[in-house]
Amino acid sequence: VTGNTTVGGTLGVTGVSTLADNIVFGASGKGIHLGVTSATAANLLEDYEEGTFTPVFAFGGSTNGLTYGNKVGSYTKVGNRVHTSGIVQLTGKNNAAIGTGTVTITGLPFTVTNNNNAYAAAGLRMQNITFADSPSLATIINSTTADLREITNAGSVTTLNNGNIAADSYVIFSLSYQTDA
């Protein structure tokens, strides 16, 4: 079949086939069923996306008073799972202009689902950031921001704030989470 030809019904293809172009579905919500011989919803690949985003630090929601060496992120979204990675690296911090409150990385490409059974996982490499103790983590709850926290030796979870971050702090991260988008 060549050109703009519409084929209806079941198309049987055997052997090795090559397409010269992309497959485009005529309606949203359509996709490819993988690994099955019948159309089961659990095996429908209907959403795949790759892209970039710009992660930045925020203090209590404010991004004022910060300069960056790097702020680069990329993502892959397969169905309702988002996998991100990136770096946020400061080269300057004007304490007079910075807000107060929890330090976050903002600008994630999709909102995390508001589902108590959905969990986010993060791998973090933090440099030039001070902690009372050492284990660190990021939490994401129904937003596009990751709160930076630490687990103290006593077992409590505390949020990081302006005093924990230096003018040359950086975070290299890998975050995976579920979205409703």
What is the reported pLDDT for 117? 67
Mean pLDDT across the chain: 85
**Does the pTM exceed 0.85?**
no
Q: What is the mean pLDDT of residues 109-137?
A: 83
What is the reported pLDDT for 8? 65
Read off the pLDDT band of 7 (50, 70, 90).
low
Q: What is the mean pLDDT of residues 2-7?
A: 63
Contact indicator for 88, 55 with CB cutoff of 8 Å:
yes
Say which residue, 133 or 73, is predicted with more confidence: 73
Q: Quick check: 167 pLDDT over 80?
A: yes
d(CA 82, CA 50): 10
Q: Quick check: 155 pLDDT over 90?
A: no
d(CA 54, CA 87): 9
What is the reported pLDDT for 23? 74
Q: What is the mean pLDDT of residues 104-126?
A: 86
Distances in whole angstroms, Cα of residue 57 to Cα of each of 68, 78, 118, 146, 172: 10, 26, 24, 10, 12
Read off the pLDDT band of 39 (50, 70, 90).
confident
Structure tokens at 177: 């989470």
Read off the pLDDT band of 15 (50, 70, 90).
low
